[in-house]
Structure 1
Amino acid sequence: MYDRCLDFSEDKIDSIHYYADYISKEADQLKFNKGNVLSLRLKGIYEDLSNNYEKAIEYYLQSLQAARVIHAPEYEMAALSDLAIAYFSIREPEKAKAFYLQCARMSELDGKIPSLINTYNNLAVIYTQLKQYDSSHLLLNRAIQLGKTLDRQGKVSLSSTYNNLGNLYFKEKKFDEALPYFWQNLIRHNNDGDYSGLWVARLNLADIYIEKHQYDSAVKYAQSAMELAQQLESKSKEADTYSILAKLYEYQGKYNKAYEYIKKWYSLDTAILHSDTYKTIAALQERFHAGEREAENKLLQEKVEKETIRTRELTLVAVGLAIIGILIAIGFVIKRNAHRQLQKTNDLIIQQNEKLSELNYEKNSLISIVSHDLNTPFATIQIWGQVMQNNADRLTPEQQKAMDRILQAGMYGERLIRQILDVEREDVGSHKLLLEKFDLRAFAEEMVDNFKPMAQKKNISLQAEATGKKLFILSDRYLVGRICENLLSNAVKYTPQGKNVWISIHDEHDHIGIKVRDEGVGIEKEELPYLFSKYSKISSRPTDGEASNGLGLSIVKRIVEELNGRISCESQIGIGSIFTVLLKK
């Protein structure tokens, strides 16, 4: 009902007063706490439209107070806006501006676009009246930026904003800039049937045509504005229209007519606003501020009482904090003692680590020396074995077989020593990385050819799974070869006769993968984490009694890491294993 009253035209102001009383009575029965605010505002609007600004301001001030009591910011903003409009109507723009600024601050906190646009519009009108044109431009441009999209969607109307912008240009005497905005509003209000807005548009057009000395057009729009004002039964609109007609005839030099319209304007305007109004309004304002001061005093008294309670609470909190402080201090002493004990333990661990490092260094040195020195006897065995083998025609078959075993054992011993040295030194070896670009698919096929004799002894099918497409990698050919040799050798060793071993090369984005897959005995799942450790021993054994010292995979891991790659293994007992090496391209 309240919202419906806000949409009433001026010819229904008696209905506004009736519904204001009705809302007040019904709200009391329903215990609806907003009823008083709504009723007081409607009564203010009734008095405002009746040009009784003294009573209007009294009701608006009561509505503002009631809105603040129930903490209803939307109605508080409405009351502030109403007060500003009323003060503007009685030619007190500075007071109007004060109320509009309060309203603007609340609107910005609220953040609702329609409310912000309305507030910016009203403030802009005041700034225009006060000849602060830059501020007015700024506010109107803000309103247009906020509402342009919503205006196209029909959710808000920017007609007031465009009208105010036209008035601003008019005040700045930029008549050609103002004219399109007045025309735009005339068309808009003709379409939507808003007679009050249509009156404003016609009056503005009359005024601007007067300034442009296009008097025929000015007469047309001034007279049609007067017809609307009388139709709306609005004395204030009639008075403003008489003022424009007086200006029109003055510009034409028809001073008698101008004088007649000035008298009509004066008689209406002074009837609307007489001198006693100012005194009464000032008294109302003072009573309102006195009420505010009383409310502030009560609030201050409540604050004093709360502060007393708060002081007691703070005393209790201070005592509590003191107890906590003592506990923290005790905890700190305990923690400091524990830290000292921990420091002693750490020092002991550091000493033990240093001792272990020394022992490890001595162990590595001993292994290196022993392994190096063992090279000589194995090399001697190899040399003399080859000398004797050159005279094989003098040996019996049994002696020839023994000689082959001696040479084979010498080679195995020499290789074992080399592997021990590879594992124990800090880098892969004395080998210096020599990077070159080579086709890894072709390289894999070469490796398969090298190991086929070894595989054929066990009737194992050794295959390279590679398409004809070349796949290049930038790496060290020798070290990649050692990786493949170790993996293929292990695969053949741990694969039973008549089975298969594969090596495949594949592209994986920024890596190239080397996979060696076999149908061997497999590796226990719990042994996989230790597979690449030094001297690791697993339960799986080579299928034809081949020798295995547990060093090969440790060396492979070291070489892979040297080449900035990764190695992994998947395996199932009785099915086989897959070793995957990923190297960067």
Structure 2
Amino acid sequence: MKSLVLFFITFIVSANLWADSVYFPSDKSRDSLINLLQTSEKEQLVDVLNKLSLYYNISDPSKASAYIQQAKSLAGELDYKAGLAFATKEEGMMKLNNGEIIPALTLLEQARNISVEINDYRLIGESLHCIGLVYSAFGFHEYALKYLNEAMDVYRKGNENQLIAYCYYDEAAVHVKNKEFQKALDKVQECDQFSLSNGVKIEGGLSHILLADIYAGLHKDTLALENYKLGLVLIGKENLSPRINAAGLRALGKFYLEKGLYKEAKKSFFEAKTVIDEGTNDIEKGEIMLDLSSVCLKQNYLRSALEMIDSALIQSEKTKAIALLTRVLFTKAEILKKMGLEGPALRDISRAYTLQDSINSEGYKNYIADMVASFEIQKSNLKIKALNNQLEATQGELASTSTLSRYYLAATLFFVALLAFIAFDQLKLKKITKKLYAVNEQVNNQNIELKRLDDEKSDLIKLVAHDMRSPVNNIVSIAGLLEHEATTAEERKEYVQLIESICQRINSSISKFLGRNEHASPASRIPELEMVSINDLIVETMSEFSPKAASKDIELLFTPSDNKNEVLTDGDYISQILSNLLSNAIKYCQSGATVSLEFAMQLKHCAIIVRDNGPGISKEEQLTLFDKYTTTSNRATGNESSTGLGLSIAKKLTLALGGDIQLESDIGRGCEFIVSIPTMENSHVPQATVLAK
């Protein structure tokens, strides 16, 4: 909402520099001016061209630029400096609207110098005023306030009370951009006192929109809403351009959106869209479609939100507006994520961060800051050069007579002191620029940290959900068997005991998760080593998956080892690894398939092998098989869902135990997963807690 303030105040000042009583020349005035083009001569023709450029400044910038160039050319031929200064100033403001900071500052400084030559206080003040607006537009608030204060001082010399009042309002707008709402309100009240004392008024819809933004920032919602509505009514009566009317409606819509009044917000944004549709400005259209998409997203109308954000994406890509395109991509990614389309959402987020880095990079910010600093230093050097010329002239005059030697010394000391003051001012400028760099870097680091924490939270939720899915599915399968009439009482008893065992394991996993590390997933806690029987773990895990396998007519085979099968390891880790491998095998095997498990003790490691005769996995897909969120081209034979997390979790757990997991497979040959973990004599697990040997 606050970003609209500069847009409003820029047009207030630009339009009122010609006449205190109107914002823009009316259509009737425009027609009269066009007629004057045929009859005016010399300096009057320059003034007519300047006024026409002001009329078309918003509605047709290319036509306004053409009138400005004609006015500058003719004013130069006639040596009409007042007309040349005005045209140069308006050209600078058009550069501001195009985002060209240094060309805008250069042209406005030229306009000021021309105005100084003819000692026109109004034009000098207007040039300084506009330089303040340029600095405000690019976030250099300290410079903006400095030039606005200088403009007010010049206006006072020329008794331009109306323009002094507008300076007060522009200073208030700068404070709003800097989120200093109380200072902004103080400036408005100071302006009201000045206006009352000097018989001037600031009226119009845009001033009420600014006041509404201030009240909204101070959380005075009733006053804010009253001023938004009054401002829109006055904008309509004043017959301002569609862009200004739409901007006012958007400001009201954003206010409603912040307060959770989605119906009212949507109505305001649609009204703004209707107004903008009459014009051709694609950036405003894209902004409004982004606003409408945000409302639908808040209401959880995801399809409508996606349609509108796609429209905003078209407009932003057409205009190549990087800042708008970045915000559109972030919003679209949020919509896609809510719709469960995580792949497309990740692509849009990646693209958005790439664009954001291009406009928020340290190099880009330093480039802008260096340009501003160079501009200010160049101005200071010009002042120094002018002072040196003045000093040389003074020296020549003093040399002609010995009676003026004392004045020569005084003048020399004065100019030396002035030069020292300018040098100090440059040093202060460098310190401010350095401080700005530091603040920007701090903000960037905070944004990176917030994104990292958000990613960790998302991963935690997905990992916990995946860890719980297989046991819950097994319970559902066993519960289905309990409902069969053919199930005997003895079988029912076994099924109930199996359900109790699964629930106890789930409860144990949750307890360890909450007790050990509340900020980590079960797959990332520190292993707890104790002597466990691999045979028992395999049998227990197969029992849990037997109902699921039976429902798909898949045979599970395992022959327990008669040899030593106890290993110093984390039993929960082994169970979870086996669960993920068995779940995948049953998920992708056809009816009648066989899934077998083997266990073998080796010299320093033991191996658990899970083998199936399913569809197999291609060599190409095996390269990324253990990466997070990776799925294969195979389809689950029972329409089961897949998150792409199971094998990545199994890999992570195996590595945590100091082991490794390998796959041997090809298309049509089934899969053979080999899990290798250290034996007790070779058990060097980093950061493990040994409970018992």
Q: TM-score, normalised by structure 1?
A: 0.41
Structure ID, larger Rg: 1
Q: TM-score, normalised by structure 2?
A: 0.35
